[in-house]
Structure 1
Amino acid sequence: MVTVREPEFPLRKVDTASLKALAHPLRVQILEMLSRYGAQTACGLADLLNESSGATSYHLRQLAKFDFVREVEGKGTARERWWERPPGAIQITSPELATSPATQEASRLVSREFERTRQTVLADFMEHGLDVLDADWLQVATVSTMNARMSAEQLARFAHAMEALGHKLLEEIRSEPEAEDARPVQIHFNAFPILGVPASAGKAASKESQSSEGKKP
């Protein structure tokens, strides 16, 4: 039996009810936008996702019922509320959820949608990065693949160490004053600037509201 240690960062393990609530493509996309750009209004999310504000408002309320998003305290008005994603990763698969065909399919749907959004921004960077980024960004961006033969125990140890180090480094960076040239960055590990959306999309959001750890399978 492989020993899987608990992560050294916040991790939400979803149950059956919350997984089913998340299993909608637009809700996954809303979480992704809040992770990338920080706190947003329903109208802001509608612009980012090319959806109506009525649709994003409805799905935000559904996500809030299961604590996937929360209202930003002290910001906005009754007519224009700001929403953020709580810090930490989300685990959407587990042995318990795998026992039911319904939860298996819900897990697949959420995983597919997260992966689709990740592949879209990576493909955009690979195709257009040379055209729109300056030399500094091109020099530091990384698209990295590593291969090795490992046992399940070794893979568990490697993944735990990588996640712990990544969380530690992210917390250090979030504690620093934001640089003038800061822009949204996504890390898989690949690590590259996101294209296609203004770099200022998440500038007004507090660093604490951003949950860049994203989805944990």
Structure 2
Amino acid sequence: MDLTSITPDVAGLKALSHPTRLRMLGLLRIDGPATATSLATRLGINTGQTSYHLRQLADHGFVVDDEERGNGRERWWKAAHQSTLANTVPRKPEDQDAMDAYIQTVAVIYTQQLQAAVEEMPLLPTEWRDASTLSDYHVRVTAKHAEALTTKMHELFMELREDDEDDPDAVDFVFQFQAFPRPGHVSGPAGQVGGEES
């Protein structure tokens, strides 16, 4: 399957910086089209809030009407793209706040997913516990080498062959991939390291 993607502008990043919107978009991408009512139930919020967030996502091109569903009374929504590509280095310095807010929201969502997986781990069959891991690898590299490594990892996941949908042993499996300098060990433009002057 060819993956379609969207690279949002600053206004789009601001729209995605709301955790509920980012979770909603994720649900539509992974689980498929849904109504505001069904999304509200899954997210634990009211339908009015869900409809508002869906309109915000639609205004920025993240979701569209699913015209193949619905009966006039129910409006179905679907994701317009399968992934979001965000350049972590804004083109303009004044856009940094929008990028920072978006990345912070992504981190919150990933943390919530990880916590939910850890809480569910004791309930999993042994083979799925054995297939899961919480690992980190600390290596000493240059920024150029680190970028090359993360690029290789992205390519690996993009080329990943999914198991057949009809395979009864196959389930949705999440790989979370984060790569970053060890906090407190790289000086920023103002000479700060980990919030302290170096």
* Shift in alpha-carbon separation, 1:21–1:71, aligned structure 2, 3 A: same
104-113 or 58-67, which deviates more: 104-113
Between structure 1 and structure 2, the one with the greater Rg is 2
Partner secondary structure for residue 85 of structure 2: strand
Report the AA paired with residue 95 of structure 1.
P
Q: How far apart, in 2, do the equivalents of 1:90 and 1:178 lie?
A: 30
Q: How far apart, in 1, do the equivalents of 2:114 and 2:17 lie?
A: 23
Superposed CA offset, 1:50-102 (max 9, x none): 111111112112211211112234122333233222112331533315x11xx
Report the AA paired with residue 108 of structure 2.
R
Q: Identity across aligned pairs (percent)?
A: 31
Stretches of structure 1 that go unaligned for 5 or more consecutive residues are: 1-7, 191-217
Look up the match of 1:42: 36
2:162 aligned with 1:173, yes or no? yes
How does 1:93-172 map onto structure 2 within 5 Å?
93-97=88-92, 99-100=93-94, 103-130=95-122, 132-169=123-160, 172=161
Aligned residues: 176
* Shift in alpha-carbon separation, 1:42–1:154, aligned structure 2, 3 A: same
Q: How far apart, in 1, do the equivalents of 2:125 and 2:62 lie?
A: 36
With normalisation by structure 1, the TM-score equals 0.70
Task: Let me know the Cα RMSD of the aligned residues.
Answer: 2.5
Look up the match of 1:186: 174
Structure showing the higher helix proportion among its residues: 1
Look up the match of 2:15: 21
Asked whether the equivalents of residues 46 and 53 of structure 1 are also in contact (C-alpha less than 8 Å), the reply is yes
Q: How far apart, in 2, do the equivalents of 1:88 and 1:57 lie?
A: 22
* Structure 1 residue ranges (4+ consecutive) displaced by more than 4 angstroms after TM superposition: 8-11
* Shift in alpha-carbon separation, 1:73–1:165, aligned structure 2, 3 A: farther
Asked whether the equivalents of residues 5 and 84 of structure 2 are also in contact (C-alpha less than 8 Å), the reply is yes
Q: How far apart, in 2, do the equivalents of 1:182 and 1:78 lie?
A: 36
With normalisation by structure 2, the TM-score equals 0.76
112-121 or 86-95, which deviates more: 86-95
Report the AA paired with residue 167 of structure 2.
A
| Shift in Å, 1:26 | 2.1
Q: How far apart, in 2, do the equivalents of 1:81 and 1:180 lie?
A: 32
* Shift in alpha-carbon separation, 1:28–1:133, aligned structure 2, 3 A: same
47-56 or 112-121, which deviates more: 112-121
Q: How far apart, in 2, do the equivalents of 1:189 and 1:137 lie?
A: 19
| Shift in Å, 1:27 | 1.4
| Shift in Å, 1:10 | 4.6
Report the AA paired with residue 153 of structure 2.
M
| Higher relative contact order (Cα pairs below 8 Å, separated by 6+ residues) | 1
